[in-house]
Amino acid sequence: MGRIIMYLFALLGWLNGYTQKKDIFIIDKWINYNRLRGAGDNYGVKYEEKPYYTADGDTLVRRIFLTAEFDQVRKEESLLHGKKNGLAITYYPNGVIAEINYYLNDRLWSVISRADSSGVLFTPGTLHNGTGTRYFFDLHGNEPNCYETYVNGFIEGPYYWVRDETTAIKGNLTYKKNLVKHLPGKKVTFLNSAGMHSTMVVDTSLFRQVFLDERSEFKVLTATDDSVEEVPKEYKYIELMFDDPAIVPYGTWQIINFRTQRPKLAVSFDSYGNPIKVIRYKEDGSVATEQSFPLYNTRRW
């Protein structure tokens, strides 16, 4: 913990030193790192957890995410009562700290620091006490100031992202938990191969595959009926999928040519996240086609 705090204060001391307009890393190789990136760098699923028990009976879990292939630490976070609380720190493969953010009850609450892979600092945004804007890099280092907006820790407001070297997407997002469907699930309490006690809720299909398989390394202690949220899906035409099914696009979205800033596509969404009108543009910016869709009183992915 002392090491983390030291990092934090060192970074905060340089928060006025933002000088770069784009990340200088090359996609296939990281600054100050002597090997090419592998799939395990970005898509590793391994993590380790260490519980800490307080005198009041609370359990604080420190979770560390590791790359699947190289066992490099890519992210650290803390959980209290099963929800993210406190600092979350992400790293580049070369060990440079990418972001430091603060969570409160699973909600992104404040942005603290952001840097590129060579350690050059960028403004993390204005998000403080749950409200404001969080800036982030696109996937290719072309645009350092993509952004998403939060209100009370939930996505709410303008969004902008550069998908690739020629395409940028912008529009408005809102958070609607009432649109999320729930599927049958099981609340499972079990022991893993190391004898650690855990409880989680999974859908019935995953329960059968993981816990009822005769080769399973988990010993089920109890299993009761429950429910889980539906899995997020991709929104049509803008081709975006968010990590929470309650995040919904609304109003008019634009897909533009990042280089020329000319429109390529305009999509109008209703309050359920359904497309109701699509306009396609020619390369010179003039309208090519228009298409309208019927209204529905529910979300139709």
Alpha-carbon 35 to chain mean position: 26
Q: Are 253 and 269 in contact (CB under 8 A)?
A: yes
- Mean pLDDT value across the chain: 84
pLDDT at 42: 52
Give the whole-angstrom CA distance, residue 65 versus residue 27. 22
Name the one residue in this structure whose structure tokens are 């979350």: 88
pLDDT in tens, 215-255: 888 899 999 999 999 999 999 999 999 999 999 999 999 99
Q: Residue 42 and residue 253: Cα distance in Å, rounded?
A: 29
Q: Which of 65, 112, 121 is nearest to 93 (CA)?
A: 65
| pLDDT for position 196 | 77
From the list 146, 106, 101, the residue with the least C-alpha distance to 127 is 101
Among the listed residues 67, 87, 68, the one whose alpha carbon sits nearest the alpha carbon of residue 76: 87
Non-local (6+) Cβ contacts of 163 within 8 A are 138, 139, 169
Rounded distance between C-alpha atoms, residue 34 and residue 145, angstroms: 28
Classified as helix, coil or strand, 31 is coil
Q: For the chain, count helices (H), then strands (E).
A: 3, 18
In which residue are the tokens 């550069």 written? 162
**For residue 271, what pLDDT band results from cuts at 50, 70 and 90?**
very high
> Percent of the chain at pLDDT above 70?
84
> Pseudo-torsion of CA 73, 74, 77, 81, nearest 10°?
-90
How much is the pLDDT for 37? 52
Range name among 33-42, 68-77, 113-122, 267-276 with the lowest pLDDT average: 33-42
Cβ partners under 8 Å of residue 283, min gap 6? 262
What is residue 82's predicted lDDT score, i.e. its pLDDT? Answer: 83
Specify the pLDDT at position 22: 42
**Is residue 289 predicted with pLDDT exceeding 90?**
yes
- Residue 225, Cβ neighbours under 10 Å: how many? 9
> Is residue 252 within 8 Å of residue 266, measured between CB atoms?
yes
Residue 161 reports pLDDT greater than 90: yes
Distance CA 22, CA 122 (A): 9
Is there a contact between 277 and 292 (Cβ–Cβ < 8 Å)?
Answer: yes
Distances (CA, A) of 278 to 255, 293, 297: 11, 9, 19
Residue with tokens 């975006």: 240
Position 3 pLDDT exceeds 60: no
Closest CA to 235 of 290, 180, 272, 288: 272
Give the predicted TM-score (pTM) of the model: 0.79
**Predicted confidence band of residue 43 (pLDDT cuts 50, 70, 90):** low
Q: Collapse the DSSP code of 193 into the 3-class scheme (helix H, G, I; strand E, B; otherwise coil) and give the result.
A: coil
Spans of all domains in the chain: 1-126, 163-181+231-301, 182-228
Rounded mean pLDDT, 58-80: 83
pLDDT of residue 157: 98
β-bridge partners, 180? none
Partners of 184 in the beta sheet? 227
